[in-house]
């Protein structure tokens, strides 16, 4: 397991910018051409890189509604194609999240594109979300990573957003389980939904429970909150605030990126 984000992303305190992909082949809102998806993804990635972020996390956010299980092969192929274009044009480390919880597909895309990490929304336990019951499968995830022979780190959510545990479990216990039993390489703590603030108290609780792996804030980070959050966490994954007018569906706004980086005080 990595002892710091520096081993994974090259920075001890890291801001990770979200690249939300448009609808991919097979999803309800797929428009019939991958070209505009690639164009938008590259534009957002370039703006995030130019603004001083340390890494990018690519996610198939336009594919809603999401499946509770494995995604279609077309999704994997499209994400690999888009991430390959990003890899050719951007020097930042990349991560991948295949929604809602397809860690095996994320590992496959990462192996094909040189991504350094994947985000797994439900790594241990079971969650009730809008997809129904989502069951973790750390057993298969870790063995598939070993099978692929890749050094791709697992960033695991602790009580992921857009869902609640099927059975009550303390935040601290799930954090410990993610690391000691699920062998996660880093932990992510978020608010209740995309763009919603992550309570500082939750970040402190997870940090108190697990001190030997990187801890990231996963949602709702703004210039007003980033410094306090990074006084406890090692990094933050930021998406909604960095978009024009703070609307997730809009392009990345360079001015907002600059404001966040300056407020965070990390380089």
CATH of the domain at 106: 3.20.20.70
pLDDT tens string 43-74: 999 999 999 999 999 999 999 999 999 999 99
The whole model's pTM is what?
A: 0.95
- What are the Cα distances from residue 94, in Å, to 7, 53, 256? 14, 12, 21
Q: Where are the beta strands (DSSP E) in 70-204?
A: 94-97, 117-120, 126-129, 132-135, 153-157, 163-165, 186-189
Examine the pLDDT at 41 and tell me if it is beyond 80: yes
- pLDDT, average across residues 13-27: 97
- pLDDT, average across residues 20-37: 97
- What are the Cα distances from residue 71, in Å, to 20, 49, 141, 180? 17, 29, 15, 28
Cα separation, 143 vs 167, whole angstroms: 26
Question: Across the strands, what pairs with 157?
Answer: 188
Q: How many domains are contained in the chain?
A: 1
pLDDT tens string 95-125: 999 999 999 999 999 999 999 999 999 999 9
Question: What pLDDT shows up at residue 3?
Answer: 60
Examine the pLDDT at 1 and tell me if it is beyond 70: no
For residue 148, give its domain range.
5-264
pLDDT category of residue 130 using cuts at 50, 70 and 90? very high
Tokens for 158, please give them: 């602790």
Question: What pLDDT shows up at residue 56?
Answer: 98
pLDDT tens string 191-232: 888 878 899 999 999 999 999 999 999 999 999 999 999 999
Tokens for 92, please give them: 């930042």
Closest CA to 160 of 117, 111, 126: 126
Examine the pLDDT at 129 and tell me if it is beyond 60: yes
Tokens for 231, please give them: 């006084």
Question: What pLDDT shows up at residue 167?
Answer: 87
pLDDT category of residue 168 using cuts at 50, 70 and 90? confident
pLDDT category of residue 160 using cuts at 50, 70 and 90? confident
Report the 10 Å Cβ neighbour count for 195.
18
- What are the Cα distances from residue 235, in Å, to 23, 24, 254? 28, 29, 20
Question: What pLDDT shows up at residue 260?
Answer: 97
- Would you call 212 exposed, middle or buried from its count of C-beta atoms within 10 A (0-12, 13-18, 19+)? exposed
C-beta contacts of 96-100 below 8 A and 24+ residues apart: 96/57, 96/58, 96/59, 97/57, 97/58, 97/59, 97/60, 97/121, 98/59, 98/60, 98/71, 99/59, 99/60, 99/61, 99/63, 99/64, 99/66, 100/66, 100/67, 100/68, 100/129, 100/131, 100/134
Contact 157, 125 (CB under 8 A): no
Cα separation, 10 vs 4, whole angstroms: 9
Scan for tokens 């050719």, then name that residue.
Answer: 88
- Would you call 211 exposed, middle or buried from its count of C-beta atoms within 10 A (0-12, 13-18, 19+)? exposed
Running DSSP on this structure, what letter comes out for residue 63? G
């Amino acid at each position: 397991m990595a002892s710091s984000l520096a081993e994974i992303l090259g920075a001890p305190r890291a801001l990770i910018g979200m690249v939300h992909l448009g609808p991919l082949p097979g999803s309800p809102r797929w428009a019939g051409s991958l070209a505009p998806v690639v164009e938008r993804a590259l534009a957002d990635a370039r703006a995030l890189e130019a603004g001083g972020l340390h890494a990018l996390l690519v996610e198939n956010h336009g594919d809603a509604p999401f499946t509770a299980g494995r995604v279609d092969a077309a999704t994997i192929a499209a994400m690999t194609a888009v991430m390959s274009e990003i890899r050719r044009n951007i020097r930042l480390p990349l991560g991948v999240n295949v929604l809602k919880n397809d860690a095996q597909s994320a590992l496959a895309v990462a192996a094909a594109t040189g991504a350094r990490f994947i985000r797994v929304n439900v790594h241990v336990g079971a969650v009730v979300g809008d997809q129904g019951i989502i069951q973790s499968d750390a057993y298969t995830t870790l063995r598939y990573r070993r099978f692929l022979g890749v050094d791709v780190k697992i960033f695991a959510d602790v009580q992921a957003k857009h869902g609640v545990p099927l059975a009550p479990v303390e935040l601290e216990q799930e954090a410990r389980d993610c690391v000691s039993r699920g062998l996660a390489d880093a932990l992510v703590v978020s608010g209740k939904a995309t763009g919603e603030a992550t309570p500082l108290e939750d970040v402190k609780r997870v940090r108190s429970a697990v001190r030997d792996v990187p801890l990231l804030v996963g949602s709702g980070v703004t210039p007003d909150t980033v410094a306090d959050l990074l006084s406890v966490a090692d990094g933050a994954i930021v998406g909604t605030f960095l978009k024009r007018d703070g609307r997730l569906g809009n392009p990345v706004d360079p001015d907002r990126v600059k404001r966040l980086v300056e407020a965070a005080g990390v380089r």
